[in-house]
Amino acid sequence: MWTDTHCHLDAAEFDGDRDAVVARAQAAGVTQIVIPAVAAHNLERVRELAHEHGFSYALGIHPLCVMDAAPDALDRVAEALQRHAGDERLVAVGEIGLDYFVDGIDSDTQQRFYVEQLKLAQRAGLPVLLHVRRSADKLLAGLRRVGFTHGGIAHAFNGSAQQAQAFIALGFKLGFGGTLTFDRSLQIRRIAATSPETALVMETDAPDIPPHWLYKTAEARAADPGQARNESAELPRIAQSLAGLRGWTLAQTAAITSANARAALPRLAALSCS
C-alpha cells in the first residue's frame, strides 16, 4: 500500500469534492497521506482533516508564507506543537524551508523562520518536511548550525547528486513526485535511479506538481485552473516512473517507499498498525 508523504488536502482546490478525492486515493491503494500546514491560520485545519480521514499531519510555516505571517506566527506554531505533542497523528514539523526561486521574499525573514522552526522541531523531537527550491546548500547549512538530529524529508527534491548525498548523510529521505514523470527531468530521474533505495519516498504535493499526463501550459491553467489539479490517487501511476528507473515491480516500489516513509516519520509506524 502507498504512502503519500506530502499532500495539501486542505487546499481550496479540494473544497468542492474533498471526500471524493480521499475516496479515489484509498481506492488506488493510498492508505496514508501526510498533510502539511503552510501558515498559522491552517494549523488546526490540517489536524482536523488528518483525524477525520485517518491520515497524519505536520505543523509549520511555509517559506512562501513568511512575508504575510503575523508577528506571533512562530509562537502559534510552538503552542500548537506543545498542545498536540501527544497526538500520534502529528508526525513532523512542516512545511518549512527556503525558497530562492520566487522573487519578493526577504532572505533574512526566510532564514529566521526556517532556523526557529528547526529549533522547535528539535525540542519536540520531530522530523521536518523541508521545502527545497534553489536552496539546498543553505538548508543544509541551517541543519548543521542548529545541530538538527531528527531527519525528515527533503520534499520535491530538485538539487544535485552531491546535495542529495548530503541530505541522506544527515538522516533525510528524498521526496519524488510528478516531476519524475517528465523525460526532460534528467537530473532528478538520475538521482532517483542511483540513490540508495532506503532514501526514496513518494509524494504528490497535490494539488501541485502534476505528472506529465495532467500537465497544462500556464495559459491553459489560467483559463481553467481545475483541469491540471493533482491528487493522491495519481501516486501509484507516478510511482511507475520510479519502478521503471529502479527495475522494481510496482508492489516492490510501494513496499520500499512506504517503509522509508515510516523510517523518516517514525510516528507513521503506529498509524499503519491502527
**pLDDT band, very low/low/confident/very high, at 273 (cuts 50, 70, 90):** low
Q: Measured between alpha carbons, how far is 24 from 144 in angstroms, rounded to an integer?
A: 40
Q: Which residues does 110 contact at the CB level (< 8 Å), separation at least 6? A: 63, 66, 98, 99
**pLDDT band, very low/low/confident/very high, at 180 (cuts 50, 70, 90):** very high
Domain of 39?
2-272
What average pLDDT score do residues 250-273 get? 95
Q: Measured between alpha carbons, how far is 132 from 135 in angstroms, rounded to an integer?
A: 6
The per-residue pLDDT for range 198-236, each reduced to its tens digit, is 999 999 999 999 999 998 776 765 666 556 899 999 999
The per-residue pLDDT for range 14-52, each reduced to its tens digit, is 999 999 999 999 999 999 999 999 999 999 999 999 999
**pLDDT band, very low/low/confident/very high, at 272 (cuts 50, 70, 90):** confident
The per-residue pLDDT for range 121-145, each reduced to its tens digit, is 999 999 999 999 999 999 999 999 9
Residue 190 has pLDDT above 90, yes or no: yes
Residue 106 has pLDDT above 60, yes or no: yes
Q: Which residues does 19 contact at the CB level (< 8 Å), separation at least 6? A: none
Residue 274 has pLDDT above 60, yes or no: no
Q: Residue 159's pLDDT is what? A: 95
- Can you give the CATH number for the domain in which 152 is found? 3.20.20.140
Distance spanning both ends of the chain, measured CA to CA: 14
- Average pLDDT value over all residues in the chain: 96
Residue 95: strand, helix, or coil? strand
Structurally, the chain folds into a number of domains equal to 1
Q: Measured between alpha carbons, how far is 7 from 268 in angstroms, rounded to an integer?
A: 15
Residue 147 has pLDDT above 90, yes or no: yes
Q: Residue 225's pLDDT is what? A: 57
Q: Residue 228's pLDDT is what? A: 81
C-alpha cell at 103: 522573487
Q: Residue 218's pLDDT is what? A: 63
**pLDDT band, very low/low/confident/very high, at 156 (cuts 50, 70, 90):** very high
**pLDDT band, very low/low/confident/very high, at 59 (cuts 50, 70, 90):** very high
Q: Residue 246's pLDDT is what? A: 98
C-alpha cell at 158: 530538485
